[in-house]
Amino acid sequence: MRHDHAIANGFVNGNGQHTECRVKELGGGSPLEKCCQTMLQEIGEDPEREGLVQTPRRFDKALRELTVGYHQSVEQLVREAIFEEDCSEMVVVRGIEFYSMCEHHLLPFFGRAHVAYVPNGKIIGLSKIPRIVNMYARRLQVQERLTQQITNALQELLEPVGVACMVEGNHMCMMMRGVQSQSSSMVTNAVTGCFLHDAKSRDEFMRMIRS
């Protein structure tokens, strides 16, 4: 049965049973809540049944939380957490957990980011690197762009000798739909400066994140 026909003549409830119910005009609420109500109707559900009555409100709140990165900036996150320091050894923060949303299907992808930089007279507060990762992750993303944005942000902030970022991600759009590959993961990397031109720096980065 076509969804529009199902909607015109009733809904399929949570138990898979077809129930007669006329489609009502969308009520109040935010544009995101109304959008959610429409989606529920389009798949053949009844937005007014008990288990779904509050779903549009929850959807609105969840989506805004998952995309809060649009309302943040690197400058806000870092503030005064950049310090002058005579340090030239590689700094690595590994295993930064992140959750993001694939912009193609609006399904989650998640994983870990490993970030390194070689200082050039400036260092950044340790907690700021995970905050930068999560700021960019909390937007509609593709993993390739996420990796590059993290790298670019640190390069611009610190002007270091080099920056390296590796992101390992599991994508629900590939695990739940389409090819349905449950065990596949995606690895992306972006590098600047010494990591781009010096194999020893790249090798040291890989050893440090794998040790």
Instruction: Just list the catalytic residues.
Output: 102-105, 143, 171, 173
Please, are residues 6 and 12 in contact by the beta-carbon 8 Å criterion?
yes
The pairing of strands 91-102 and 108-118 is antiparallel
User: Which residues, listed in sequence order, are joined to residue 83 by a DSSP beta bridge?
Assistant: 123
Q: Report which of 175, 109, 102 is spatially closest to residue 141, judged by C-alpha positions.
A: 102
CA 43 to CA 49: how far, in whole Å? 14
**Helix, strand, coil distribution of the chain in percent, nearest 5:** 40, 25, 35
CA 37 to CA 19: how far, in whole Å? 17
3-state class of 91 per DSSP?
strand
Q: Which residues contact 11 (CB under 8 A, 6 or more apart)?
A: 18, 19, 21, 41, 44, 45, 46, 49
